[in-house]
Structure 1
Amino acid sequence: MSVSAAKRVGVGLAALAVVVGLAGCDDGDGGGKKRKKADAPHSAVQSQGKIAEIIQAAFRKTSEAKSAKVRMTVSTPPGVEGGGTVEVTGVQGWDPAVMDFTVKGSALAAAGPDAPSEMRMIMVHDVMYMDLGAMQAAEMGGKRWMKLDFKAAAEASGSEALRKQLSGSLGNLNQDPSEQLALLLQSPNLKHVGAEKVGGAETDHYKGTLTFAEMVDANKAADLLSAKQRAAVIANAEKAGIKGYDTEIWVNGDHYPVKMVVGMRMPEGTVRMTARYSDYGTAATVEAPSAKDTVDLFGMLKDMKASGLTGGTGLTG
């Protein structure tokens, strides 16, 4: 494999890291227009019981919808590795987990001079495919899609710890928005901010915060971790200065969240993700690229390691 091809692998991995980082990282940016209390789809003043009732209803409706169209923006402070902005548009499903996203933005460009201006990413059957474009195809015998089969890689390694780690990564790649609603219900200071308009929709705005430890305890993905691993994750987060998560959700009169803003507060600033959802229940028909157009990443990494080319991708070991 050529050094140029190795660099293309590095670009793909950098892009993947950007998308993995989308999960659960954002801060409230407002964005909703406050409106008169009389226009609210729900009561202007809500008790804690009423708030919980509405969020639970939104959780049920979102879970049952199984899919939606999404527009997402993620911004990372300059002091954080991979800092910049990423824009994601496409469709995602969470039962089963599938996605078809187009990713672009300054953080993607920061992956290197060979990075494409935008990249399409598909996930189906727990396998991720990244379209690295015509340059990749020229280097790889016409194959422009990079395949990342996490489960197969974990099984091949024989490592239970790696299997858990990669399973968690899969969850991060395509988060069910109903899970954010479930997390919000765990916030000890969940409150109704008020009635607002978002994209022309009449909504009610809710907000809550969780410490990192509370988020781990509430997130079912953490069930994959042993008690020792969970403690290590929390300790590392505290050492890194991660202060906690802020979540804001705007729910329309049909009990669907039309906007979610989730943030991770760090010493360098706040990692921010704003997601807007529409067309709940839309068909999320996602098909994997043809095998003749794909190359397996983990097979490439083995070849690269044997050839001493891993340094070009930032990979070691």
Structure 2
Amino acid sequence: MSKTMWKRAGISLTAVAVIAGVAGCGTESGNKERSVTQVLTAAHKNTAAAKSAKVSLTMKGTDGTAAGEKMDMKMSGVLGWDPMVMDMTMTGMKDLTDGTDKARMVWLNDVMYIDMGTKSAQQMDGKRWMKMDLGAMAKMSGDPELQKQMTGGMEDMSQDPSQQLALLLDSPNVKKVGEEKIDGVNTQHYQGTLTFEEMMKSSLDLLEKKERDELKAKMKASKMKGFDTEVWVNEDDYPVKMNVTMNFPEGKGKLVTSAVYSDYGTKASVKAPPVSQTADLMELFQKIGDLGKEMKDREDFGSQSQS
């Protein structure tokens, strides 16, 4: 496997890991005569119950890590939650596959698969899909900072998207901005902010205690300063669009995600690629490590023989 191939395989793992962490969002219909809390509560319930939707999103900014990985990508496809699955095409990850910035990504059972393309397959015994078990890879690395970044991204990916609406509902300044049309659909526009300190003190009543505790633990580990959230809700109490700005500590910038949703409840038929077409990145790393150890042992043996 060439150095170029390794570079492609390893590029922006942390950035990829946070992709779905900010992707997502959600009973009465017709929200014009109800309070902000009533509308957003209904949207939260609908979103949690739908468990899947088609989504088109953009992400711009930094990933909040020490490296400050720059992100500017687009994704579209099917996203499911409870359990977390996705089958999406992403653009903007330069040199990820065959020297292009376009790739298909599948997420299933806490494992990520990326279609590396036909040219890359020639360097991987004809296997065009790369399997990335981020949790196992982070543990194998032995690097605490890398482990925190990668497993933190996995935790974000497992987050129920309706939790974003729960956070918005807990904002002390959530308000209705006005009425707008999004892709020809009549919507009500709401926005609010929530600092990290406010979130830690909040009740998040719509979530179960376990969900509240897990969400707060994730936010604490991420060292985020807080969220700025905007949501556009249609007459059936489903979010049509959501913008979420994740504000990181000083010097680490922010990440802005804008997502447009449709076809709530669409069947998320996500399947892992065939084993015969899949290369396990962790196994490849292990083989490289074993080869390096063997070469070192030979060098040491040669040195001892000469002496």
Find the partner of 1:98 among 70, 82, 85: 85
The equivalent residue for 2:16 is 19
CA deviations 1:172-197 (Å, max 9, x no partner) are 23653312111111211111112211
Structure 1 residue 61, shift from structure 2 partner: 0.7
The equivalent residue for 1:59 is 44
The equivalent residue for 2:5 is 5
**Residue correspondence of structure 1 range 228-243 to structure 2 within 5 A:** 233=221, 237=223, 243=225
When normalised by structure 1's length, the TM-score is: 0.74
- Rounded Cα–Cα distance in structure 2 between residues aligned with 1:69 and 1:136: 29
CA deviations 1:3-43 (Å, max 9, x no partner) are 233223223xx1x43333335669xxxxxxxxxxxxx9433
CA deviations 1:167-222 (Å, max 9, x no partner) are 64334236533121111112111111122111111111111111134446769778
CA deviations 1:220-239 (Å, max 9, x no partner) are 77845998x976x37xx3xx
| Bigger mean CA deviation after superposition, 204-213 or 276-285 | 204-213
When normalised by structure 2's length, the TM-score is: 0.76
> 8 Å contact 1:92–1:174 — kept in the other structure?
no
Alpha carbons of 1:173 and 1:252: their partners in 2 closer, same or farther (altered >3 Å)? same
> Taking every aligned residue pair, what percent have the same amino acid on both sides?
44
The equivalent residue for 1:252 is 234
The answer to whether structure 1 residue 71 and structure 2 residue 68 are counterparts is: no
SS in 2 for 1:273: strand
Alpha carbons of 1:145 and 1:24: their partners in 2 closer, same or farther (altered >3 Å)? closer
The equivalent residue for 2:100 is 116
- Rounded Cα–Cα distance in structure 2 between residues aligned with 1:169 and 1:216: 20
- Rounded Cα–Cα distance in structure 2 between residues aligned with 1:195 and 1:176: 27
- Rounded Cα–Cα distance in structure 1 between residues aligned with 2:288 and 2:6: 7
Alpha carbons of 1:84 and 1:149: their partners in 2 closer, same or farther (altered >3 Å)? closer
**Residue correspondence of structure 1 range 131-150 to structure 2 within 5 A:** 131-150=115-134
**Residue correspondence of structure 1 range 135-174 to structure 2 within 5 A:** 135-150=119-134, 168-173=152-157
The equivalent residue for 2:31 is 42
Q: Which runs of 5+ in 2 are unaligned?
A: 24-28, 294-307
The equivalent residue for 1:33 is none
| Bigger mean CA deviation after superposition, 169-178 or 138-147 | 169-178
> 8 Å contact 1:88–1:101 — kept in the other structure?
yes
Q: Which runs of 5+ in 1 are unaligned?
A: 27-39, 310-317
- Rounded Cα–Cα distance in structure 2 between residues aligned with 1:81 and 1:165: 11
> 8 Å contact 1:24–1:264 — kept in the other structure?
no
Q: RMSD across aligned C-alpha pairs, in angstroms?
A: 3.9
SS in 2 for 1:179: helix
SS in 2 for 1:195: strand
- Rounded Cα–Cα distance in structure 1 between residues aligned with 2:81 and 2:138: 22
SS in 2 for 1:139: coil
2:31 counterpart letter in structure 1: H
- Rounded Cα–Cα distance in structure 2 between residues aligned with 1:199 and 1:270: 27
The equivalent residue for 1:276 is 260
The number of residue pairs the alignment matches comes to 278
> 8 Å contact 2:9–2:96 — kept in the other structure?
no
**Residue correspondence of structure 1 range 179-258 to structure 2 within 5 A:** 179-215=163-199, 223-224=213-214, 233=221, 237=223, 243-258=225-240
- Rounded Cα–Cα distance in structure 2 between residues aligned with 1:167 and 1:113: 24
- Rounded Cα–Cα distance in structure 2 between residues aligned with 1:19 and 1:165: 11
The equivalent residue for 1:262 is 244
The equivalent residue for 2:296 is none
CA deviations 1:261-290 (Å, max 9, x no partner) are 000235565421100000001111011000
The equivalent residue for 2:69 is 82
> 8 Å contact 1:41–1:204 — kept in the other structure?
no
Alpha carbons of 1:122 and 1:221: their partners in 2 closer, same or farther (altered >3 Å)? farther
The equivalent residue for 1:178 is 162
